[in-house]
Structure 1
Amino acid sequence: MTIVWLKSLHIAALVIWCGGLLTLPILLTQREAAGDRGAEVDRLHRFTRFAYIALVSPAAFIAIGSGTALILVREIFTVWLAIKLVCVGFLVFLHVWLGLLVLSVFKSGKDFRPWRAISGVVTISLTISAILWVVLAKPDISTDFLPSVFQEPGGLRRLAADVIPGLTP
């Protein structure tokens, strides 16, 4: 029963996080329409910061936390999961990028062109789609192309000992 609740929490948080990430670039394009009128820009900035800080970011933390708990509870340690985590890492990068934009776009004389919003929404959509595909397809990816040192216990330490002086294998 714990897994059902964790999955439900994870999916709900993902919906809010991903929906917020898709909405933020569109909100940022409204900056140009607001011009330099103080009250309008201030209202839009406060709303955008609220959405990022109070809704999207907590949902991201909950999604990542519940996803980590699911990994540990279900003991899933496969290649497809590693690929999913790389994609989630890129989604986190996009999350931080949007946060920096929320801070910088609302400075005097700044704007956010529609082409940037379109490219942001497309990139976020492709990342979300990649995550969904990996999770739903669970592709069976062979690791035969990796050197055998990566599949031996203590292999990474022996490999690092060649690169890091003073590290004993």
Structure 2
Amino acid sequence: MMIALIAGLKYLHLAAMLCWCAALIALPLLLSLYGSTWRHNDGGEERQARYAEFRLITHYGYVAFATPAAVIAIAAGTGLIFAAQVFDLWFAAKLALVAGMTLVHAWIGHVILISAENRSTGRMPSPLIALALAVPLMMGVLWLVLAKPDLAWLTDWMPGFMLAPRGQA
């Protein structure tokens, strides 16, 4: 029973992570490439139609695809922590990288919001910054999960209170 639960959680976690990572790559590219086309087109109705399409794609891509995928990936991953009892140091490093992916995810949402608010000026931060941050974070997570490196050498420079359970020094 427990093996089937772990296998199901792994499948759900992996599928959601793939969708989330795809969105973290696609949304900045959409914001960068597609977002520039409606800014530089001078046609009135055509420009409005392009802008409406741009807003729908980015908004629903973020709200209806990327965010649910992130929530499912994190929830399934949290379930896996306890079901598989994974409490190694490489896993803590993975969680730190996933936290970074979450920050990039939130920043992409911010850029999508800015793209709607600053439509007339066309000023928004480069969404490619998110891509430059997300890809190394994703690669780091992938490496940690596949290699499961022994990171015990990191504990050599940590203070003792960080290595003992609270109240049991």
Post-superposition offset of 1:77: 0.9
Identity of aligned residues (%): 34
Quick one: distance in 2 between partners of 1:130 and 1:92? Answer: 14
Question: 2:111–2:127: 8 Å Cα contact kept in structure 1?
Answer: no
Q: 1:147 aligns with which of 126, 134, 159?
A: 159
Runs of 4+ in 1 over 4 A off after TM superposition: none
Distance change (3 Å), C-alpha of 1:82 and 1:45: same
| Unaligned runs of at least 5 residues, structure 2 | 42-46
CA–CA distance in structure 1, aligned partners of residues 53 and 68 of structure 2: 22
> TM-score, with normalisation over the residues of structure 1?
0.84
Partner of residue 165, structure 1: none
Cα displacement (A) at 1:103: 0.6
1:9 counterpart residue number:
12
- Return the match for 2:67 from 57, 62, 65: 57
Change in CA separation of 1:146 and 1:16 when aligned onto 2, cut-off 3 Å: same
The aligned counterpart of 1:131 is 141
Q: How many residues align?
A: 155
Instruction: Summarize deviations over 1:88-123 as a string: whole Å, max 9, x none.
Output: 00000000000000110133222568xx34443232
- 1: CA distance, partners of 2:20 / 2:37: 26
- Using structure 2 for the length normalisation, give the TM-score: 0.84
Residue in structure 1 matched with residue 48 of structure 2 by the alignment: 38
Give the aligned CA root-mean-square deviation in angstroms.
1.9
Unaligned runs of 5+ in 1: 159-169
